[in-house]
Amino acid sequence: MTHARDHYANWLREAHAMEAQGLVMLDAQSRRLQNYPELKLRMERHTEESRRHLQALEGLLGQLPSRGNFLLKDVAGKVTARFHGLSGIFVPDEVVKTMMAAYAFEHMEIAAYRVLIATADELGEAEAMAIFENILEEETAMAAWLAGNLDETTCLFLMRDERELQAKR
Task: Average the pLDDT over 25-35 and give the result.
Answer: 90
Residue 169 counted as domain residue: no
- Of 169 and 7, which is predicted with more confidence? 7
Residue 67, C-beta contacts closer than 8 angstroms, at least 6 positions apart: 61
CATH of the domain at 21: 1.20.1260.10
Average pLDDT, the chain: 88
What pLDDT, on the 0 to 100 scale, is given for residue 34?
A: 87
Split at pLDDT 50, 70, 90, the class of 110 is: very high
pLDDT at 78: 47
- Domain of residue 75 covers 2-162
* Number of independent structural domains in the chain: 1
Taking only the tens place, the pLDDT of each residue in 117-145 is: 999 999 999 999 999 999 999 999 999 99
